[in-house]
Amino acid sequence: MTRATLNGITALTDAESVSLLRETVETPSPSLNERAVAELLVSRMRAQGLNATIDSAGNAVGATFGDPLHPIPGVEDIIMLGHMDVVPGYVPIRVEGRTLFGRGAVDAKGPLCAFLSAATRIRPSERSRVIVIGAVEEEISTSAGARAVRDRYRPVACIIGEPSGVTGVTIGYKGRLIAECTFTRTLSHTAGPDLSACDTLMTWWRTLGSTITELNQGHTGAFDTVQSTVRSIRSSTDGLRETASCCASFRLPGWLSSSEMREIVAASHSELLTRFRGAEECIRAPRDSSVVRALSLAIRHCTHQRPALVLKTGTSDMNVVAGRDGWTCPIAAYGAGDSRLDHTPDEHIDLDEYLTSIRVLTTTIESLMK
């Protein structure tokens, strides 16, 4: 596309959008250390004519007009919410043909940079404002960035920046509960009859697995069943007592709340000590909302392909902002990239799909604006 300036905002060209993505991927931003990439994104938004700042949570926030941190009476806000942080692990940054490799290329700097680019291309409106947010701490259980903006805005529509594939629209994410589970035992000889702390931990986990299998009876498919995973195991002894502990993650369907799962885990063994965190409820947005319809029509128009509605077994900031006591506006998640590459050592994004996603987003936002 050629450069254009509308209402004081200069549109990013395709080449500039690719450069933005590469520079953003090249800027390290592990969870709790997102400041450098936030400053980069604010600088780029300001250079294009958006009003941009870093809020008290550390989020990068830009608006097509007005103070990005405050609602404007009589103006409807459409929010594009992505996240800046990435999981640990360095993926060498390189471009091979039309493919960009690097940590965060898919999850989720690609979708976030597409948001920024699309915001510079939309036609101006006095009654609708677009706000682009790069949130902190999405990849850890705190989700501090999303919680801060959830309490600040009341948008009429929201798109979450997560990889769905250029023709996919994500309408649901499972709930989650993380449990730190610990057993402590008086040390005994390994030749004796008593179970060690590690034996107890493993026996308990097998028994809990049987309980979860029973819970899943009558339910099918990954999105509608409880999934459980041991994320880490540790053991220690001081010569008198021994301790075995694990971090367990539970992915929850809509029919089981995080509080119910918490009760199941807590009651599973009388000697189990537990500490819970990261509780989120399953979210499933309507298939026929204005955001889903707008994205679907834009996908058909820009790709000449049939859009696919997606349900994901992970969580995202959509669980936070659209969950209990959250926004009631139409919402869905969208972004170029293969989500199977999230968190992997081979993370990469197709640059042509990335550019197509910008056109899809631009068309979508313009159809949602008054």
C-alpha span between 82 and 290 (Å, rounded):
20
Q: Could you list the active site residues? A: 85, 138
State how far Cα 275 lies from the chain centre.
24
The beta strands (E) that lie in 90-189 are given as 94-96, 99-101, 128-135, 157-161, 168-173, 175-186
Instruction: Please confirm whether the linkage preceding 108 is cis (ω < 30° from 0).
Output: yes
Q: Are 175 and 224 in contact (CB under 8 A)?
A: no
| Terminal CA-CA length for the chain | 25
Give the residue from 141, 146, 39 showing the smallest Cα distance to 87.
141
Amino acid identity, position 117: S
Task: Compute the 3-state secondary structure of the chain and give helix, strand, coil in percent, each to the nearest 5.
Answer: 30, 30, 40
